[in-house]
Amino acid sequence: MEHKKLLRNSIKSYIILGVIFLLAGSFIAVIGHWTLSVNRDSLQRVYSFRLFSRGNFQVIAANLRAVTHLTQAIHERNQLKLEEGYLHLESAYGFLVSIDSELFLQNAKSSFSEDFETYDALLDKYATILEDPYSKSSYALALSLQQDIKLLNQFLGYAESEFWKQRAEDFESIRLRNKIIEKIYWSLVLSFIVGLFILIYFLFERLKIENLLEKQKVEMVANSRLTALGHFSAGVAHEINNPLTVILWRTKSLQKNLSTLIARDEKVKSDLESITMNTNRIDKIIKSIKTLSKNGERDDREKLLISSLRDQINDILSPKISTENFNFKFTSNCYDKYIYVREVQIIQVLINLINNSIDAIEFLDEKWIEVSVISRDQNIEISVTDSGSGIPKKIQPHLFSLFFTTKSQSKENSGIGLPLSHQIIKDHRGSLTYNSKSLNTQFLITIPQENYSPEV
């Protein structure tokens, strides 16, 4: 139930993260489109401003040249200058038409077209003067024409002034807009950084969930096997214990009732002692089976003496040593030291590693297994070494993967022994690793030798 809840929370988190990034992406797309559009309009306005200013200046300059040539031509009676003045006025009109057309092609607003009729009237007046340039009427018309061109230049100058005022307003708008864009940019950068941290957080949460699910999967499979084995072993132990108790009682009764005979007959004494010894051995074997089939996950951590650990391992393995025909040795430099552990779980881990070694060396000529316990610094280091020549490198990365096994199908195996052992040692704040530097096959267990109180 818990892992389903964690999985739902993980999916919910990824959905929320996806929506956040989708909204952020949409926002960035809208802002990007708006920014490009505004910049394009700004560039177009800047270009139209330059065009307007340049064209306006050329028109005013042409108008001034037309007035100057007209005035000089009338006073000097110079027909050539009079004609040049007309050409300058036509040039001003031409500048006006070309600028208006170019601004129209740039989709920019222009008020030059309003001056086309004025220029047509001015050109008509100038043409009338050219027909009779030195008459009184032409002189009066020339004065009127000069006045009209001056008024037109004043209007164009006023337009230039309004243009620069509008240009200043546009530049101020561009400056304010750039500030907004800058704020939006840094907001997006901050949002991206926050989103990145959120993504990293969700990634770590996902890893934690996956590790928890992996642990629960290992525990679930192990618990189901241990539960089934526990029920079976409890039934077997109960069935054996009853007649075993009777045998022990009868043996003690015989030793008491036949004390005189035992004193005289060494054979009877030896037989009764053999019955008692083997009965006690059967009792130890049954207790060992109970220990191995017990789920010690909920047990409190207790003080375990290293010498007691050695005795229990020897008791559990004694039947197998005689049947499997291998040499077993348990050595230590700290038999008098304690470790705070869940006793049942530590014994299960060691027996699992030893059983793996027994299977691995089954067909070797030299068969031996050694368990060594060493106190080093603040740790207790337990090594399980066998006479094998090591594990292939391509297999080593998968040793602690769930359901991974190299045993043949003829052997009972599930691929959960090493992962479960690894998790048990990890729960004891220790580590279980394979020592690839050893000449023989060796697994190392490191458990902190801490002076903390047993768990409550």
Encode pLDDT of 130-140 as tens digits: 888 778 787 88
DSSP for residue 67: H
Q: Is the pLDDT of residue 384 over 70?
A: yes
Closest CA relative to residue 174, chosen from 54, 48, 35, 52: 35
Highest-confidence range of 67-76, 170-179, 446-455, by mean pLDDT?
A: 67-76
Residue type for position 225: R
* Between 307 and 34, the higher pLDDT residue: 307
Strands of 267-337, DSSP E: 302-305, 327-332
For the segment 85-107, the average pLDDT, to the nearest whole number, is: 74
- DSSP secondary structure, 92-150, as one string: HHHHHHHHHHHHHHTT----GGGGHHHHHHHHHHHHHHHHSTTSHHHHHHHHHHHHHHH
What is the per-residue pLDDT for 456?
Answer: 35
Please say if the pLDDT value at position 453 is more than 50: no
Q: How high is the pLDDT of residue 108? A: 55
Torsion sign over Cα 153, 157, 162, 166: positive
In this structure, are residues 454 and 302 in contact, taking their beta carbons and an 8 Å threshold?
yes
- Give Cα 184 to chain centroid, integer Å: 26
Top mean pLDDT of 94-108, 110-124, 312-326, 437-451 is at 437-451
CA distance to 5, 122, 236, per residue, from 294 (Å)? 29, 116, 14
Q: What values do phi and psi take at 393, rounded to 5?
A: -60, -35
Tell which wins on pLDDT, 415 or 23.
23
For position 410, what pLDDT does the model report? Answer: 45
Do 47 and 91 form a contact (C-beta atoms < 8 A)? no
Q: What is the pLDDT of residue 264?
A: 76
pLDDT at 404 over 60: yes
pLDDT, tens digit, 9 for 90 and up, residues 431-447: 999 998 999 999 999 99
DSSP string, 320-340: HHHHHT-EEEEEES-TT-EEE
User: Which residues, at least 6 apart from 109, have a Cβ–Cβ distance to it below 8 Å?
Assistant: 103
CB contact at 8 A, 423 and 211 = no
Three-state SS for 445?
Answer: strand
DSSP β-ladder status, 368-376 and 338-341: unpaired
> Contact 366/387 with Cβ under 8 angstroms?
yes
Evaluate if residue 39 carries a pLDDT over 70. Answer: no
Q: Which of 286-300, 383-397, 411-425 has the highest average model confidence (pLDDT)?
A: 383-397
- Cβ proximity of 447 and 382 under 8 Å: yes
**How do beta strands 379-386 and 302-305 pair?**
unpaired
Q: Which fold has domain 298-456?
A: Heat Shock Protein 90 (3.30.565)
pLDDT value at position 257?
Answer: 76
Q: Check whether 174 has a pLDDT greater than 80.
A: no
Strands 368-376 and 379-386, by their bridges, are antiparallel
For residue 296, what pLDDT band results from cuts at 50, 70 and 90?
low
- Give the three-state DSSP class for 364: coil
Best mean pLDDT range from 198-207, 282-291, 337-346: 337-346
Which pLDDT band, with edges at 50, 70 and 90, does 455 fall under?
Answer: very low
Please report which confidence band the pLDDT of residue 107 belongs to, taking 50, 70 and 90 as the band edges. low
pLDDT of residue 227: 59
d(C-alpha 115, C-alpha 123), whole Å: 12
Share of the chain above pLDDT 90, in %: 9
The reported pLDDT for the residue numbered 238 is 59
pLDDT digit string, tens, across residues 198-224? 878 877 877 777 777 776 766 666 566
